[in-house]
Amino acid sequence: MLALFFFFIALACAYPNRGPCTGDCWTHDPTMIQRHSDGKYFRFATGTGINTMTSDSVKGPWKDVGSALPKGSIIKLDDVSSTDIWAPDVHFQNNQYYMYYALSKTGTQDSEIGVATSTTLEPGSWTDHGSVGIPANSNYNRIDPNWISIGGKNYLNFGSFWNDIQQIEMESPLKAASAPAHQLSFNQTLNHREEGSFMFQNGDFYYLLYCAGIAGRYTATYPPQGEEYHIRVCRSTSGTGGFVDQDGVDCTKTGGTLLLASHGQVFGPGGPGVINDKNLGFVMYYHYYPLAEKQGGGKAGNSGYMYAWNELGWENGWPFVKAA
């Protein structure tokens, strides 16, 4: 037990501070993109009609500019408000921006992934196309979408909590192909929990980030130390399978190298994404629950979460979190 305690202390000291943020630093399950026309940063989050923030740098000052889909999604789920939209994922392709998102009834597999398009990223400029048509399956949960292009083909990674991280090929950015989804990552032990994945390419490898552990709203009961949300990484040369961790362990067989866990004010980091910033290089952004908030009894819902970022450094082809 004592050894475990010192292990966590060592872990806690291993992470540099998060980068600075000014202005509106609230977020939950963020996605970030620089607008092609003017380089402006857009940060989207889970929230009424998809919360939209803008800034001239990853540091801020960030400004809340409104909802991407103020009228909500055209997807209808029983007992779920059409504006209760989760975990956006935005990318640029074919001269427009695509935003994948999820609607879900918390704690169930009653979920759908949808997509909207815009040419400007501005609030209210999005055209919703509804569901991308990933079939329901008891093997996964259709949440936390993340698009990637591999060898000229479109793929959507998603999921899942149920059977962890999945990938499906897309026939077009708006529609899933008919080939069934396959698993990219899986924790075989009891209480396996992986979700909120993000994939990006650097050099010869595709890197798969995902959240493991207990998400929770951290308001009343807290997971035992070390079991709260944290971010792990796996890599593969194909991007469609064969993901392993730094020790060579297959990520569908409980592999996954720890990239970022709780430290300082950062409790339960999750919802990661990566941008290749013009000035800073690879930057990982994520949400966290401030330790002070946790110690003060917590806020309702997602309102206590904050945005953070760190530059990524590289060693032997593996990313690590760098000081700002």
Tokens representing 194 are 């992986």
Query: Least distance to ligand NAG from the beta carbon of 212, Å?
Result: 4
Of the pair 230, 287, the CB lying nearest ligand NAG is at: 230
Q: Closer CB to ligand NAG, residue 77 or residue 244?
A: 244
Q: Rounded to an integer, what distance in angstroms lies between the CA atom of residue 135 and that of residue 148?
A: 19
Other beta carbons less than 10 A from residue 245's beta carbon: 19
Alpha carbons 52 and 49: distance in angstroms, whole number: 9
One-letter amino acid for residue 22 of the chain = T
Give the whole-angstrom CA distance, residue 153 versus residue 218: 39
Does residue 277 have an active-site annotation? no
Residue 195 annotated in active site: yes
Residue 286 pairs in a beta bridge with 308
Q: CB-wise, 46 or 185, nearer to ligand NAG?
A: 185
Minimum CB distance to ligand NAG, residue 270 (Å): 13
Angle value at C-alpha 170, between 45 and 73, nearest 5 degrees: 40
Residues near ligand NAG (CB under 6 A): 187, 189, 191-192, 212, 232, 254, 256
Q: Residue 50: which residues within 8 A CB-CB, separation 6 or more?
A: 44, 67, 68, 69, 85, 88, 99, 101
Return the number of the residue (123 or 271) whose C-beta is nearest ligand NAG. Answer: 271
Give min distance, CB of 237 to ligand NAG, in A. 21
CA distance 173 to 93: 9
Q: Which is catalytic among the residues 24, 164, 195, 311?
A: 195
Output 100 or 140, the one with its CB closest to ligand NAG. Answer: 140
Calculate the CA dihedral of residues 227, 232, 238, 239 and round it to 10 degrees.
80
Residue 217 DSSP one-character state: -
Active site residues: 29, 195
